[in-house]
A = this chain, B = another copy of it.
C-alpha cells in the first residue's frame, strides 16, 4: 500500500472556473507508480471549490460562471456577512455547492477520468489570491 501526499500552491486565477488537471498531474509523477487506487484533491479554502466538468470547450466554464452569478447574486438585502465585500457570502455558498474535494480512481498508473472530464478550480472571489490544494494518492503499486 502506497500513500503519497503533497501540497500544491496554485497560481492566482481570476474569478470564474478554470481547468487545472495538468497543474495537478504535473506535480504528481507518482501517479504512474500506482496500479490500482485513487487520488483525492482537497482545497483548503471556503470561498473556492473543486469539481469535475467538461475539459474541452471554454464556453462551459463561462456559462457556469454566468449562471452561478445569477443564481447566487451579490448584495441580497438579508445577507449579514458582508464586511469582506459583496462577493464574499456568495463565494461561501458557491464553495459548498461545488464542494471541497474530488476523488478520482487511478487505474494502471493513470487517472481514470472520462474522455471529456477535467478538474475545475472554482475561484469565487474577485481577488482570491493563490489557493492551496492537498493531494493524496492511495493505492497498490
> Which A residues lie at the B interface, using CB under 8 A?
1, 3-5, 36-38, 40, 42-46, 51-55, 57, 59-60, 62-64, 66-67, 71-72, 76, 78-81, 89, 92-93, 95-105, 107, 112-114, 116-117, 120, 132, 134, 136, 138-140
Instruction: Contacts A59-B81, A102-B101 given; indicate if A64 touches B52 (C-beta within 8 A).
Output: no
Contact B96 A53 (CB under 8 A): yes
Contact B136 A105 (CB under 8 A): yes
Instruction: Contacts A40-B105, A59-B81 given; indicate if A95 touches B53 (C-beta within 8 A).
Output: yes
Interface centre among A45, A63, A96 (most CB of B within 10 A): A96
Interface of A is mostly: mixed
Instruction: Contacts A107-B5, A114-B45 given; indicate if A78 touches B63 (C-beta within 8 A).
Output: yes
